[in-house]
Amino acid sequence: MKFKIKSDYKPTGDQPQAIDKLSNGIKSNEKYQTLLGVTGSGKTFTVANVIEHTQRPTLVLAHNKTLAAQLYSEFKQFFPNNAVEYFVSYYDYYQPEAYIPVSGVYIEKDLSINEEIEKMRLSTTSSLLSGRRDVIVVASVSCLYGIGNPVEFQKNVIALQTNQSISRTKLLHRLVQSLYSRTEADFNHGNFRIKGDTVDIFPGYADDAFRIHFFGDEIEE
């Protein structure tokens, strides 16, 4: 799918010229370009148009979570039919381990993880591994830290489609290998459950679960 802006506004003033110059610079492989503008001048809208013009996967870096959240919301509105992802640190609170020599006190490491942000990080990884080109990742400096080898991530991707030949047993084995847990009670992210020829899977990155119907060793729907 191609990037397609959805907006009631059209580029005006200096925006068309800026869009053309930035787009041409990217196509000419210019390493550095700067877009200047006061607050409220439509810089995000200008960048959105550059993304639409160049049709390239885009990483948008922000210096803090607040700005990243604002940019994510704006790009999400401009590109409702494309993959706009949010990748920031999932720690609500982080206390590293420490030792205070004067008092002889040792402080253990303590942390609190935001499950919603963790889900959005997994969604980002899923979009990047999907092979689709219409991906925008809005991130803080958290993206500079490695989350694992992409090759290893790719090995654990489970691709399913209608009429695919795969035994239910093999699918369940793959799910367990990918650290999914079987449950019949609290069905939540990272779980799967079985009901006859039906397997429900709740990915860690999704808002909704998937239901797979088997007919023998074939995915019926």
Q: What are the boundaries of each domain within the chain? A: 1-56, 59-70+79-147, 158-219
Q: Torsion-angle region of residue 195: left (phi > 0), alpha (psi -120 to 50) or beta?
A: beta
Which residues, 6 or more positions from 50, have their beta carbon under 8 angstroms from its beta carbon?
19, 22, 23, 26
**Digit-coded pLDDT (tens) for 155-206:** 778 888 898 898 888 988 988 888 888 988 888 888 999 988 899 999 888 8
Q: Which of 134, 137, 115 is nearest to 125 (CA)?
A: 137
Which pLDDT value is given to residue 44? 95
CA distance 74 to 103: 50
Domains 59-70+79-147 and 158-219 agree in fold: no
- Provide the residue count of the chain: 221
Which pLDDT value is given to residue 141? 85
Which pLDDT value is given to residue 11? 94
**Digit-coded pLDDT (tens) for 99-151:** 788 888 888 877 676 788 888 888 998 898 888 899 999 999 878 877 777 77
What pTM was estimated for this model as a whole? Answer: 0.78
Backbone phi, then psi, for 147, in 5-degree steps?
Answer: -115, 10
CA distance 188 to 209: 8
| Token digits of residue 33 | 């370009």
CATH superfamily of 158-219: Penicillin-binding protein 1b domain (3.30.2060.10)
Contact 3, 49 (CB under 8 A): no
CB burial of residue 86 (10 Å; 0-12, 13-18, 19+): buried
pLDDT cut 70: percent of the chain above it? 98
Confidence of residue 73 (pLDDT cuts 50, 70, 90): very high
CA atoms in the 13 A half-sphere facing the CB of 165: 0
Which pLDDT value is given to residue 71? 95
CATH number of 59-70+79-147: 3.40.50.300
